[in-house]
């Protein structure tokens, strides 16, 4: 998600932007029918409020690899996550609460109180695609050299400067349920028990059928363009993500958010990528880039192993 260009969410967009502006955000790619847009790449059915296939099949489709320019590739899902998608969670809320206390993690930073139920079935993984260090307007504190990835991006110093880019924000400028940073912290912007659409797919077609089905998690990831420094008079793009895309600490916190949401739901949420959901919309986003699914899967397993002690 490009947080610098997509600041108003669909819940208030019709009022704030007007219908023509909202319609422009919901433009489909050339050749895509309205029905295809409503179904998305993975065959969403508004009546059943689910995608095509078993939960495992849905997870496999919704987490296909995301390349530059939102190119969608092959499956990334691990066997570990596939075996759990949509199935009951064998962890009590009491055990989760005790585990978070052991970690000294406040549930308020993981989507809200553990006692509050979660209705969502899908866990959308985003990256912020910001700061874009090829953009000359970004702070030199965050981007010391134009066109170069911040060398200290995974350090407390850089995290302190970024400060979740001003999040959490109040309505109507909220963007996601939660944000992670690159040193393993998180912040809640919208409680997991509440609804906010974080993709075009949720807000542009059958929004009532999708209400309460998705959690959207933003993960801070800087970008640069290709070329790294645009020609004079040309605007910088943000096609290039760092390698690795996220830090180990960030995967651990994202996994903890996933575990907490799933325990509160009672079933393992089905993971999904932003770009896959929005793949049939014009100007769809290309996140998360360079997502290491085995690293995320191992982080989920690591939390479960500790929860089982």
**Strand pairing class (186-188; 178-180):** antiparallel
Residue 18 vs residues 22, 81, 195, 264, 278: alpha-carbon distances, Å: 6, 41, 21, 36, 22
10 pLDDT band, cuts 50/70/90, is very low
What's residue 15's pLDDT?
34
Confidence band of 22 (pLDDT split at 50, 70, 90):
low
Confidence grade of residue 138 (pLDDT, cut at 50, 70, 90) = confident
Q: Is 221 helix (H, G, I), strand (E, B) or coil?
A: strand
Q: Is 22 within the bounds of a domain?
A: no
pLDDT at 21: 54
Quick one: pLDDT at residue 236? 96
Q: Which structural domain, as residue segments, surrounds residue 171?
A: 50-307
User: For the whole model, what pTM was predicted?
Assistant: 0.93
Q: Token pair 């895309």 is at which residue?
A: 245
For residue 6, what pLDDT is reported? 36
pLDDT tens digits, residue range 120-136?
999 999 999 999 999 99
- Number of residues in the chain: 309
Distance CA 100, CA 94 (A): 10
pLDDT band at 14 (very low <50, low <70, confident <90, very high): very low
Domain count, the chain: 1
Residue with tokens 């850089």: 158
Q: Which two tokens stand for residue 232?
A: 């004079």
pLDDT in tens, 27-44: 999 999 999 999 999 999
Lookup result for tokens 């979660």: 118
225-258 pLDDT, tens digit each? 999 999 999 999 999 999 999 999 999 999 999 9
* Beta carbons of 85 and 55 less than 8 angstroms apart: yes
* CA distance linking residue 258 with residue 300, whole number of Å: 8
pLDDT of residue 7: 33
Is residue 34, in this structure, part of any structural domain at all? no
pLDDT at residue 227 in the model: 97
Q: Are 242 and 149 in contact (CB under 8 A)?
A: yes
Residue 40 lies in a domain: no
36 domain-assigned: no
Tokens for 12?
A: 């208030």
What residues are paired with 52 via a beta bridge? none
> How far apart, in whole angstroms, are the C-alpha atoms of residue 88 and residue 81?
13
Examine the pLDDT at 13 and tell me if it is beyond 60: no
Q: Is residue 41 part of a domain?
A: no
Residue 37 domain-assigned (yes or no)? no
Q: Which residues pair with 124 in a beta bridge?
A: 216, 272
Question: Of the given ranges (21-35, 44-58, 59-73, 157-171), which has the lowest mean pLDDT?
Answer: 21-35
28 lies in a domain? no
**Is residue 5 included in any domain, yes or no?**
no
Q: What is the pLDDT of residues 267-305, one digit of tens each?
A: 999 999 999 999 999 988 899 999 999 999 999 999 999
The whole-number pLDDT of residue 284 equals 81
Q: Is the pLDDT of residue 8 over 80?
A: no
Dist CA 168 CA 23 (whole Å): 27
Please write the tens of the pLDDT for every residue from 143-202: 999 999 999 999 999 999 999 999 999 999 999 999 999 999 999 999 999 999 999 999
In this prediction, residue 181 carries a pLDDT of 98
């Amino acid at each position: 998600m490009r947080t610098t260009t997509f600041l108003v969410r669909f819940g208030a967009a019709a009022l704030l932007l007007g219908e023509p502006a909202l319609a422009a955000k919901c433009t489909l790619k050339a050749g895509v029918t309205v029905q295809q847009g409503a179904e998305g790449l993975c065959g969403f059915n508004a009546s059943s409020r689910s995608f095509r296939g078993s939960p495992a099949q849905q997870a496999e489709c919704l987490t296909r690899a995301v390349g530059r320019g939102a190119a969608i590739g092959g499956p990334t899902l691990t066997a570990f996550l596939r075996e759990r998608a949509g199935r009951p969670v064998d962890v009590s809320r009491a055990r989760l609460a005790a585990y978070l206390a052991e970690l000294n993690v406040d549930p308020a930073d993981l989507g809200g109180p553990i006692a509050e139920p979660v209705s969502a079935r899908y866990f959308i993984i985003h990256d912020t695609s910001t700061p874009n260090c090829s953009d000359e307007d970004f702070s030199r504190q965050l981007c010391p050299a134009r066109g170069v990835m911040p060398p200290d991006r995974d350090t407390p110093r850089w995290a302190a400067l970024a400060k979740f880019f001003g999040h959490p924000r109040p309505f109507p400028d909220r963007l996601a349920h939660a944000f992670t940073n690159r040193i393993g912290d998180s912040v809640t912007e919208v409680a997991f028990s509440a609804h906010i659409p974080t993709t075009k797919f949720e807000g542009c077609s059958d929004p009532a059928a999708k209400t309460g089905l998705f959690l959207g998690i933003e993960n801070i990831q800087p970008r640069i363009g290709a070329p790294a420094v645009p020609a004079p008079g040309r605007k910088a793009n943000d096609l290039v993500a760092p390698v690795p895309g996220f830090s180990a600490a960030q995967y651990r916190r994202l996994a903890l958010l996933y575990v907490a949401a799933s325990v509160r739901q009672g079933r393992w949420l089905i993971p999904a990528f932003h770009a896959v959901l929005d793949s049939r919309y014009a100007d769809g986003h290309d996140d998360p880039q360079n997502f290491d699914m085995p690293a995320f899967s191992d982080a989920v397993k690591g939390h479960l192993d500790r929860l089982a002690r």
